């Protein structure tokens, strides 16, 4: 789609400086062509203005003076660029209807605005909101509730009685509401603990491809409004994630842990079971969290990459830290007594 730059600026609550023009799409400033809109968010990239072929650029007020092309002036260029990109690239929506190859239980009422793709299975008792889109090969088990305008991508499996809010996106291969990992040892074998809880997902939640959210054991697993989960994430049974928390790929939260609101969790983070993380916590990638975090802030535990030679030396020294501490304390005590 094409839009006048002036109209685009108005829609994203910014100001146009320079000539109006037609914009077809957004692009990286290094690769942008005529008809495309780019942005600069850091002053160290301002030299790109001399070489870019973009028809227009999003800049801060203090960078816009003397620019030789049209500018959208924004307090936050990155945010303005995201809004422009969303306007120019609306999400694909399928025309309402039910594929002849779908299998929908007879007691399920399908609103006229809903799309159900080929090979979708929808079991008894399911309730679908207006504008729901369920793409090919997904399985919606019995008594699931899906809110208005939620999109279920191909190959998603949703376990029985799961509740999903409005305007959510569940990406391909995700499994929501499988049994949690619960066993009790009896002699030489394990007894499976019945997983009697549910999964409740709020509004505006996104769950990435091949991620899993387990149902609760006795109480529900809860993903609150605005949470964004990347690909390949594991959420254990009874976990509660607060509003607008974001998790990067390959991270996992073990059972019965509570994570607060507006937390940022990096890639490959492991969070142990039965602990609590307060609101507004940032956890850097590859961090292992084994006890509750009670104060907002940024936390990390990863060992930085080094040459194998140095890493081995440091690892060997680490093994002797306890012994070294005892020797140091003994030496300090001896010096104090002299």
In angstroms, rounded to a whole number, what is the distance separating the alpha carbons of residues 311 and 313?
Answer: 5
- Give 229's DSSP letter: E
Region of 97 on the Ramachandran plot (φ > 0 left; ψ -120 to 50 alpha; else beta): left
Annotated active-site residue 320? The verdict is no
HSE toward the beta carbon, residue 294, CA cutoff 13 A: 2
In angstroms, rounded to a whole number, what is the distance separating the alpha carbons of residues 35 and 225?
Answer: 37
Two structure tokens written together for 287: 């961090």
| Alpha-carbon dihedral angle through residues 52, 53, 56, 60, given to the nearest 10 degrees | 0
In residues, how long is the chain? 338
**Annotated catalytic residue within 160, 189, 237, 320:** 237
DSSP string of 128-154, one letter each residue: E-TT-EE-TT-EE-TT-EE-TT-EE-T
By DSSP bridging, strand 281-283 and strand 264-265 are parallel
- Give 42's DSSP letter: S
In angstroms, rounded to a whole number, what is the distance separating the alpha carbons of residues 72 and 328?
Answer: 62
In angstroms, rounded to a whole number, what is the distance separating the alpha carbons of residues 183 and 328?
Answer: 45
- Catalytic residue list: 237
């Amino acid at each position: 789609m094409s839009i006048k730059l002036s109209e685009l600026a108005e829609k994203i609550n910014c100001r146009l400086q320079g000539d109006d023009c037609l914009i077809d799409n957004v692009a990286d400033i290094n690769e942008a062509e005529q008809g495309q809109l780019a942005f600069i968010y850091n002053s160290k990239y301002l030299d790109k203005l001399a070489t870019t072929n973009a028809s227009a650029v999003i800049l801060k007020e203090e960078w816009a003076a003397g620019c030789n092309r049209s500018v959208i002036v924004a307090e936050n260029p990155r945010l303005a660029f995201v809004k422009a990109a969303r306007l120019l690239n609306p999400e694909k929506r399928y025309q309402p209807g039910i594929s002849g190859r779908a299998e929908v239980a007879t007691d399920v009422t399908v609103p006229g605005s809903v799309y159900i793709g080929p090979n979708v299975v929808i079991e008894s008792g399911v309730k679908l909101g207006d504008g729901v889109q369920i793409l090919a090969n997904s399985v919606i088990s019995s008594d699931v509730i899906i809110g208005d305008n939620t999109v279920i991508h191909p190959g998603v499996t949703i376990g029985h009685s799961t509740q999903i809010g409005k305007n959510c996106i569940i990406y391909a291969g995700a499994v929501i509401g499988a049994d949690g990992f619960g066993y009790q040892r009896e002699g030489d074998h394990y007894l499976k603990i019945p997983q009697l809880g549910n999964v409740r997902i709020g509004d505006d939640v996104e769950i990435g491809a091949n991620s899993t959210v387990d149902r609760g054991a006795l109480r529900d697993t809860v993903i609150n409004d605005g949470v964004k989960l990347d690909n390949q994430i594991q959420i254990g049974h009874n976990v509660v994630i607060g509003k607008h928390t974001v998790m990067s790929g390959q991270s996992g939260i073990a059972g019965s842990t509570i994570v607060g609101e507006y937390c940022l969790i990096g890639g490959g983070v492991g969070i142990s079971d039965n602990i609590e993380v307060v609101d507004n916590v940032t956890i850097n990638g590859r961090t292992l969290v084994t006890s509750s975090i009670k104060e907002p802030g940024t936390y990390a535990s990863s060992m930085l990459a080094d040459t194998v030679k140095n890493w081995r030396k440091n690892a060997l020294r680490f093994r002797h830290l306890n012994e070294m501490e005892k020797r140091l304390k003994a030496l300090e005590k001896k010096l104090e007594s002299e």
